Amino acid sequence: MATSPSLAALLLILSLSTALLGCSSPRESTTGLPAYAASDAASAADWPAPIANTALRMDLEPLPLEVGVVVFEEGISNPDARDARDKLRSVETRLAAAYLRDILTESGQWGAVRVLPGASHFAALTLSGAIVHSDGRHFVVDVKAVDATNRVWLDARFHSQTSAADYLDNTTEPFRPLFVSIANRLREAAVGLAPQDVARLLGVADLRYAQELAPEVFSSYLAEENGRLKPNRLPADSDPMMARIARIRNQEALFIDTVDEQYVDLGDELGPTYRLWRRSSFEQAEYLEAYTERASGRELKAKQGSFAAMQQVYSAYRSVRIQEQDLFELATGFDNETAPTVLELGENVVRLGGTLDEQYSQWRRILGQIIAIEQGGL
């Protein structure tokens, strides 16, 4: 049976996409979207309604609590570092955490807000999250905020949807309403928190951090009651180990601030290409939806099944793939060229290498070793 002109044209387009971009994958769906995005879209019924544009709350009394925003989880099963789309999601996890940090800082409602490369009990209040779906048009994340006492301040799914107008200004975050909503919900969770509650939380946070670094020394200082931590006993004001813990905590704050500068570099270097990718992804999603409408017999700009209609889909698809490849190369280069972190610890100089995540793991091991050595000197 002879192949129809339309089918032949479609086959040509698909073969050209593979040859030009060289990024086909066995996990790629027939729509050209990554398989994990397609599976996410299938569970869209679990998404909350899109967040409406809202103002950032800045009218409440600031709380003297340090906040740690842990780099988001990728939300992908078995990510492949060689896959451009998986690498892109890895970039998104860091950019999202950094942008949430910026929004929380902008609100003026908290103490220092820092991005943490990994989970720790460094801050009194810690936010963690996972990206559920991201395609330039829909951004869905799960966010959880837990304080040092194990009190859950926030545990919710957030969904933001963009329009073409959101991409007219390349300097504005198109999903800003989602991050503003997270910041507002977090601050509202603290309404009614008395000063003595804040003081108690700060005390538990100090002990929790000490317990993390020296569990054999501080394991008995905290007790759990109904899932919440509370002081079981308090160290003396002149406790030499607590003084060492405080000094090391200041060193860790210096390390995190040093790493934070590299997250700023990441945003500056990858931000423009990332925005182009999201805009291209938005256009592709719009074209694919229009293509579905065409298949349902609705009125179209191009005749159903025509070469022009298929070319619209391919053009959007190709643009997304080009931006993905650019981001993959930039992200890979950023990880490979991440500046080593050099810090002074007393009379010693510590040099940490590798990716930011690897540097943080090295740093935490060093802190544990320092505490073990100093404990032996007591």
Question: Is residue 332 situated within a structural domain?
Answer: no
Q: How far apart are CA 168 and CA 148, in angstroms?
A: 42
Q: Per residue in 298-346, pLDDT tens?
A: 444 545 555 565 565 556 556 556 656 665 665 555 454 455 555 555 5
- Residue range of the domain that includes 60: 44-203+212-239
Q: Which residue has the higher pLDDT, 288 or 314?
A: 288
Question: Is residue 269 situated within a structural domain?
Answer: no
Give phi and psi for 129, each to the nearest 5. Answer: -160, 170
Question: Is residue 191 situated within a structural domain?
Answer: yes
Question: Is residue 365 situated within a structural domain?
Answer: no
Residue type, 188: E
Q: How far apart are CA 232 and CA 208, in angstroms?
A: 12
**Closest to 94 measured CA to CA, from 78, 112, 115, 80:** 115
Q: 143 pLDDT exceeds 80?
A: yes
Question: Is residue 189 situated within a structural domain?
Answer: yes
Q: How far apart are CA 374 and CA 378, in angstroms?
A: 7
Q: 162 pLDDT exceeds 50?
A: yes
Question: Is residue 104 situated within a structural domain?
Answer: yes
Q: How far apart are CA 140 and CA 126, in angstroms?
A: 20
Split into its structural domains, the chain has a count of: 1
* pLDDT for res 40: 46
- Tokens 């869209």, residue? 44
Average pLDDT of the residues in 47-58: 94
* pLDDT for res 16: 34
The helix-helix angle for 240-295 and 84-107 (nearest 10°) equals 120
67-70 and 113-116 strand pairing: parallel
Question: Is residue 257 situated within a structural domain?
Answer: no
Q: Residue 375 — very low, low, confident or very high, per pLDDT cuts 50/70/90? A: low
Q: Per residue in 87-103, pLDDT tens?
A: 778 888 989 999 999 99
Q: Burial, 258: exposed, middle or buried (Cβ in 10 Å; 0-12, 13-18, 19+)?
A: middle
How distant, in Å, are the alpha carbons of 174, 183, 334 from that of 103? 14, 7, 24
Q: How far apart are CA 254 and CA 217, in angstroms?
A: 25
* pLDDT for res 256: 83
Question: Is residue 220 situated within a structural domain?
Answer: yes
Average pLDDT of the residues in 246-263: 82
